[in-house]
Amino acid sequence: MFASLEGRSVIVTGASKGIGRGIALGFGRARCRVWVVSRHLPQAAQVAGEIVAAGGTAQAFAADVTRQADMHAMAAAARDAFGTIDILCANAGIFPASPLASMTEADFDLVVGTNLKGTFLAVSACLPAMQARKRGRIILTSSITGPVTGYTGWSHYGASKAGQLGFMRTAAIELAPHGITVNAVLPGNIATEGLAGLGDDYIRSMEASVPMRRLGSVDDVANAALFFASDEAAYITGQSLVIDGGQILPESLAAMAPS
Ligand code: NAP
């Protein structure tokens, strides 16, 4: 039985849709106070409204994770409203495809700047509040792509997602004496608005390559984030949890043929 997270204050970046929305709704159901962050206030406000309509507490905030000033404003506003920041889910991310041969410096900078530098900026902005209370949970949304697998068109994305894990390991060591854990969820292919943008052929080929023969749901990822945020996970830090329906297990499609 897990202890209740009721009343904990949570910031979720990239929470206007997809996995971040699922994480925000999950923490809302757990009766946490949720700070719903994305660049577009109306979309973030819609998610905050869903949490409030279900009886929870939430507030929307417009911020870009690539801007340090935005991240500081986000942390300050959450601290003013909720008094503390107990949990940060650094989830905002983008995955535009770009083959290496035609990838521009701007393509690379945009993806790494959002996914990796954005993680650093969100984490560092929230640290003072967590260090002041000698307590905190930081949960990064990485991916199987990069840390475990590769995929044509996503060398910059894979670098950013593997980079998050390198960042996590040293951050976990530095922050352990402050009572702060840093862990990562590694989703496989999760049904989100962003993934839908990759097209039906991509979705079908992914479903076929997952032993469970379905894409993951945002709740599958939210449940893992809730676990890392739980009191029961207090002694776990610097670790990553793959949520992929077994996708990284088969050596080939033949490995999944019925026996
Ligand atoms: P999504 O549906 O496209 O949602 C992305 C979210 O990030 C939106 O809320 C978007 O809101 C926000 N965002 C993007 N750039 C931002 C920025 N610069 N500042 C603040 N917010 C920003 O994507 P998703 O599929 O849920 O992916 C979410 C995370 O999961 C990403 O880190 C992604 O790499 C990771 N992931 C996804 C999958 C998957 O299968 N879906 C698999 C592995 C990992 P605004 O546009 O309003 O800012």
101 burial (CB, 10 Å; 0-12 / 13-18 / 19+) is: exposed
Q: Which atom of ligand 1 is nearest to the CA of 22?
A: 26
Name all domains of the chain by residue range, CATH numbers in brackets.
3-241 (3.40.50.720)
Using a 6 Å cutoff on CB, does residue 71 contact ligand 1?
no
Enzyme catalytic residues: 157
Distance from C-alpha of 154 to C-alpha of 29, rounded to nearest angstrom = 34
Residue among 11, 13, 21, 39 to mutate when testing ligand 1 (max atoms within 8 A of CB): 39
Please tell me the distance between residue 17's alpha carbon and the centre of ligand 1 in angstroms.
Answer: 7
Please tell me the distance between residue 219's alpha carbon and the centre of ligand 1 in angstroms.
Answer: 15
Q: Is the pTM of this model over 0.85?
A: yes
- Contact residues for 1 (Cβ-Cβ < 8 A; gap 6+): none
Q: Which atom of ligand 1 is nearest to the CA of 66?
A: 18
Please tell me the distance between residue 20's alpha carbon and the centre of ligand 1 in angstroms.
Answer: 7
The pLDDT tens digits along the chain (259 residues) read 799 999 999 999 999 999 999 999 999 999 999 999 999 999 999 999 999 999 999 999 999 999 999 999 999 999 999 999 999 999 999 999 999 999 999 999 999 999 999 999 999 999 999 999 999 999 999 999 999 999 999 999 999 999 999 999 999 999 999 999 999 999 999 999 999 999 999 999 999 999 999 999 999 999 999 999 999 999 999 999 999 999 999 998 899 988 7
Using a 6 Å cutoff on CB, does residue 143 contact ligand 1?
yes
